[in-house]
Amino acid sequence: MPIRSSARALRYNKAGDGMTAIARLMTRIRLRCLAYAAVLFKRTPEAVGVYRQLIALAPHDAVARAALGNLYAEAGDLTAAVDEFEQLVEIDPLAADAWFNLGFLHDKREDLGAAERCFRKAVELSPSLDRAWYGLGLVLIRGGRLDEAIKVFARNIKLQPFSPYGYYQLGMTYHHLGRSTEARKVYEQLAEFEPKFSATLKRDMQQTAPRAVARERDEGSVPKDVNIVEAV
């Protein structure tokens, strides 16, 4: 009789655990719907609160952490956004998109070293992630490492052959290194599918001094007239 009672109690406990798990799942689904609605209607504080509840309920919810990090970034709270994405890459260290977002946030905070590390991790995990190559190239430009930036933007163009942004940065980088022949080839290639963007590139080259001249004034820094197009 005691053995049967113990078995029955065990079944009840398992059933109770199952009901608890189902209840938690239903709560998460309800909260996620509330969060989506709050984001849809641009009720950011409400959405932040709901995502915090989701994370409290399930700390390893990568989707909720990414969404909360994006909300913080949109609100201008870069410190909180970085914290969320740092926890996200701890949860899923193989998430290339999370590393890219973390790099983008570090770049916004002017932490070029951290941004470079994150972008390099992103392209290591996903070599075809073109926006991470683009972000890495921008960081290298800001750090005055133009020769390295050329290789990175060349990779970006190979992955996105019809996006004008990589061409623009590659052309301006060649220009600032005084490599006018390569720079001209870039805007000629760009003119084949984006003539207006190519005209802008050509105009900006004509209106800015090459890097070789700028180096004489300020060794080791990026010239102030380098045109930066933010990653989109």
Q: Using alpha carbons, list the distances in angstroms from residue 227 to 57, 175, 199.
A: 45, 11, 14
Q: Is the pLDDT of residue 15 over 70?
A: no
Long-range pairs for 77-86 at CB < 8 Å and ≥24 separation? 78/105, 78/108, 78/109, 81/105, 82/106, 82/109
CB 89 within 8 A of CB 95: yes
DSSP assignments along 76-103, one per residue: T-HHHHHHHHHHHHHH-TT-HHHHHHHH
Q: Is the pLDDT of residue 225 over 60?
A: no
Give residue for tokens 């760009």.
Answer: 190
Helices of type H across 126-210: 130-142, 146-159, 164-176, 180-191, 195-207
- Model confidence band, residue 20 (pLDDT cutoffs 50, 70, 90): confident
DSSP 8-state secondary structure symbol assigned to residue 177: T
Q: What are the tens digits of pLDDT across the range 164-220?
A: 999 999 999 999 999 999 999 999 999 999 999 999 999 999 998 886 544 433 433
CB 226 within 8 A of CB 170: no
Provide the mean pLDDT of the chain: 85
**Is the sign of the CA dihedral 22, 27, 30, 36 positive or negative?**
negative
Tokens of 225: 């007239």
C-alpha–C-alpha distance, residues 112 and 104, integer Å: 10
CATH number, domain 15-92: 1.25.40.10
Pick from 6-15, 84-93, 113-122, 158-167: least confident: 6-15
Our CA angle for 68, 70, 75, nearest 5°, is: 95
Q: Is the pLDDT of residue 13 over 90?
A: no
Closest CA to 231 of 143, 129, 144: 129
Q: Any idea where the domains of the chain sit in the sequence?
A: 15-92
C-alpha–C-alpha distance, residues 170 and 152, integer Å: 9
Q: What is the dihedral of CA 207, 213, 214, 219, to 10 degrees?
A: 170
CB 134 within 8 A of CB 153: yes
C-alpha–C-alpha distance, residues 154 and 186, integer Å: 10
